Structure 1
Amino acid sequence: MKLNQSVAELRVNKENQYDLFSVQFASGNQGLGSSLAGYTTEGSGGVMIPEWFYSGYHLQGQDFRVDTLLVKDMKTKNDKRLETSVAEGYWDTTEHGFTPEDYAAHYKERCMMIKFLVKDNTNKTIKAWNDYPLNFPILRPADAYLLYAEALINNGKTELATEWIDAIRARAGLASLGHTPTMDDVMYERRCEFIGEGKRYFDLVRMGKGTFISTMKKFSDHYEHVSKMGANNPSEKDLLLPIPLTVMNIHASWTNNPGY
């Protein structure tokens, strides 16, 4: 058995040990596979097809982008969670050697979410781009730990939160926090721990309107969403979805959420 095959199998076999609740997937053309591969391999600069990816992949048109600011910060801090979540480059085909010339022609230096992908192009169980086996976590013990730390800080028991944050860092192979934690520490740990798991938006909403809008604007300004892409500045409207019209028709005295 090849090394990359054994590593792939190890990830699948152990994934439920780290989930309290997750969306379960299985390969084998049973209609039970994950389609996240189609989201993580497409980007604004074209489709990303690493040499280790399922060989029959074709363009799906989705886009699961990676925050390069966070990637740079995690690299600076030598955060080991980065290498299991994001690749900063990939070979685009197996039809090449590994000379400097091949590197220039076939290696793409670009961030790519790999947390839900299997690095094995010989895997015969995976039958399609939407037939990946890795589960999508909804609630992990790490989430419960950090939510508890957040609750402790909000209730004036900040010193008790250290234990729970350090437990997450120790599991990730990182040193203890080394100071009394703040809410910013909790939010940063959540960014690194749950990168690609869809929690960041809800974390910011939970922090309140001021933090939400200022954080989103800083992010938007860095990537020039307004000046170059014609987007709108983040606002209170982005905090909530509209109340459905069917509900508003029943409750005629209600006022819809801001901006709707």
Structure 2
Amino acid sequence: MKKLYLSVLAVSALLFGSCSDFLDVQPEGSAITNAYFTNDQQAIDAIDGLYKPLHKETVFGRDLFWEQGAACDIVWGRTRNFNSLATLSYTGDEEPLRNSFDTFYQVMSRANWIIKQLLDKETRTELSDVEKRSLGEAYFMRGMTHFLVAYRYGTDKQGVPFVRYEDFEGEYDNSIPPQQPTVMDNYRLIIEDMDSAIEYLPKFEEYTEDERGRAHQAAAVAYKAKVYAYWATWDESQWNNVITMVGLLETEYGRDLAQTFDELFSSDFADYWNAEYIWSIPSTGGVNGGGSDFPGVVLENKGWGVYNGWGQIKPTLDIYEEMAKDGAGNDRLVRSILEYNQEFQFFGETMRFASSSDLEAGFQVNKYMDPFKYANAIADGYVNPNGDWPTARVNFPLIRFAEMLLFRAEAYIMTNQPELALSDLNRIRERSNLTLLDHTPTMTDLYHERRCELAFEFTDHLFDLKRWHRSSNSEIKALAEKELNSRPRVRNYEDRTSPTSAFTIGYYADYPNKEPYQDYMMVFPYSPEQVTKSNGLLKQNEGY
């Protein structure tokens, strides 16, 4: 991939230009930077250009979630041309992998440039408050996108390409970013970026109402907790840092659980920024609401003739049964999954769920359905009228405090303090009116809670399984191995149009075979094209 050379002669080149050739050895010339960051609005525009790509369909809109097909919580719902993602037959050339890889390096490159320019300006004059915040946002976004590449491609044998422009005297010399020796080296650099972000960012409460949704200190602390949890895959001493970070979110930043599970996925602005919020892709609804189109992606294809849902990414019988272990019809299950004959509101009508479109699963994701319940959902701005970009007014969490409690509970168990995990797990269960655990938690309890609580969110259940497969804890290793080597099951209905139809149970029809899971599959292969373009400087992952 070519490196990114930014020109401020055209702001659009800075904010929206491609850097999909980030590792190519061919230089293109020098950047012109002395006309930028002369006022606060330019800093705001530059940072907004970092956020924008993440809302796209190719990242958190949909494509990043296709990877989850290799676990047993979701199936495609419609025929795709990259079943290798679900069958563990990775090539690196799958379109979803290539698109997200390119986008993350694009954001890293832009963030690198912004950081370098603002640090240089800081040596000459004091930055304004907006510029300081912008510098913090750039550090945060560089760290976040770096992390999303690092854990999905990096191992203890080799890390992923990364360079900091500010480490060069003068301008970045346009050399190919070096592949870090190990993923732990990437994690160390990500932690450093999040520490720098905390130094410059405000707390969430310091933002005005119009500024909410921007990076803030607690979000950086939460990513540090997640990085340390993933780092613990290779170095179990990092679990202690997870415990420290989650404690800091409670004591220093006042993070807590929302009062109800429904509140998390409410379309009511009064619920939008609840105590559990840490980091999300917010959407205000309506034609200009932005945000992720995932709520429309998972909606029944053609929306029962009312609205253009896409009919993709369907729940499996496996995740339904896992949730039902807490009792049929429990709050968390009902709010997470629509099953046949379940009542719901859709554009002012009371309906009972049935699904007659595309490949059969028997279920639909229900977490993001709240904006679609209103009779005038489009006219009142809850749902985008453009079904080709089906955003809706619902906060789309990337990290929420419940996940932090789950990481801390896991850390307690993995550091031989399982009795301390009980409180964190029961806080989550109590919030959804589930029976409280009455025993010292095990990794089986942790597996169940993490899988059920965070289902259909971008928390990466598949990578949970992959990191657990390397765990020193034999209990979680066995659970991960079982799911990684299982095929997802669905319900097949005699009359798909009837909510009360009888059904049989079978394997999902679209990808009948699956490769036996092996350790090298923990990470994805780099696209062979990228390896070739790097002139041999990008080393392919072992096993591919």
Query: TM-score of the superposition, structure 1-length normalised?
Result: 0.75
Identical residues among aligned pairs (%): 23
TM-aligned CA deviation for residue 208 of structure 1? 1.9
Structure-1 residue corresponding to 2:515:
233
Structure-2 residue corresponding to 1:3:
none
Once the two structures are superposed, residues 208-237 of structure 1 have per-residue CA deviations (whole angstroms, 9 ceiling, x without a partner) of 255444322124488546x97343324225
Cα distance in 2, alignment partners of residues 248 and 156 from structure 1: 47
Contact 2:426 2:436 in 1 (8 A): yes
TM-aligned CA deviation for residue 8 of structure 1? 5.7
Structure-1 residue corresponding to 2:334:
83
Cα distance in 1, alignment partners of residues 395 and 419 from structure 2: 35
What are the equivalent positions in structure 2 for 1:1-260 lying under 5 Å apart?
9-10=267-268, 12-17=269-274, 18-30=276-288, 32-42=290-300, 47=301, 49-50=303-304, 55=306, 57-58=307-308, 60=310, 63-78=312-327, 79-89=330-340, 108=354, 110-117=362-369, 118=371, 119-123=373-377, 124=379, 125=381, 126=383, 127-129=385-387, 130-198=390-458, 199-209=460-470, 211=478, 212-220=480-488, 224=507, 229-236=511-518, 238-243=521-526, 244-245=530-531, 246=533, 249-251=536-538, 254=539, 256-258=541-543, 260=544
Q: 1:204 to 1:178 in 2, by over 3 A?
A: same
Cα distance in 1, alignment partners of residues 338 and 283 from structure 2: 23
SS in 2 for 1:214: helix
Higher radius of gyration, 1 or 2:
2
Cα distance in 1, alignment partners of residues 345 and 401 from structure 2: 38
Contact 2:298 2:365 in 1 (8 A): yes
Cα distance in 1, alignment partners of residues 313 and 271 from structure 2: 25
Cα distance in 2, alignment partners of residues 82 and 216 from structure 1: 23
TM-aligned CA deviation for residue 139 of structure 1? 1.0
SS in 1 for 2:408: helix
Once the two structures are superposed, residues 91-115 of structure 1 have per-residue CA deviations (whole angstroms, 9 ceiling, x without a partner) of 8999xx99xxxx9xx8626311021
Residue type matched to 1:65 in 2? Answer: K
Contact 1:159 1:181 in 2 (8 A): yes
Cα distance in 2, alignment partners of residues 188 and 140 from structure 1: 18
Cα distance in 1, alignment partners of residues 463 and 469 from structure 2: 10
SS in 2 for 1:87: strand
Structure 2 residues not aligned, in runs of 5+ = 1-264, 356-361, 471-476, 491-505
Aligned residues: 232
Query: RCO higher in 1 or 2 (8 Å CA, sep ≥ 6)?
Result: 1
Contact 1:166 1:176 in 2 (8 A): yes
Moved more, 29-38 or 146-155: 29-38
Contact 1:158 1:182 in 2 (8 A): yes
TM-aligned CA deviation for residue 80 of structure 1? 1.5
Q: 1:224 to 1:111 in 2, by over 3 A?
A: closer
Cα distance in 2, alignment partners of residues 164 and 31 from structure 1: 35
Cα distance in 1, alignment partners of residues 272 and 463 from structure 2: 24
Cα distance in 1, alignment partners of residues 403 and 335 from structure 2: 18
Q: 1:70 to 1:256 in 2, by over 3 A?
A: closer
TM-aligned CA deviation for residue 250 of structure 1? 1.0
Cα distance in 1, alignment partners of residues 325 and 298 from structure 2: 24
Moved more, 241-250 or 191-200: 241-250
Cα distance in 1, alignment partners of residues 320 and 485 from structure 2: 19
Query: Over the residues paired in the alignment, what is the CA RMSD in angstroms?
Result: 3.3
SS in 1 for 2:403: helix
TM-aligned CA deviation for residue 255 of structure 1? 5.4
Structure 1 residues not aligned, in runs of 5+ = 1-6
Q: 1:128 to 1:121 in 2, by over 3 A?
A: farther
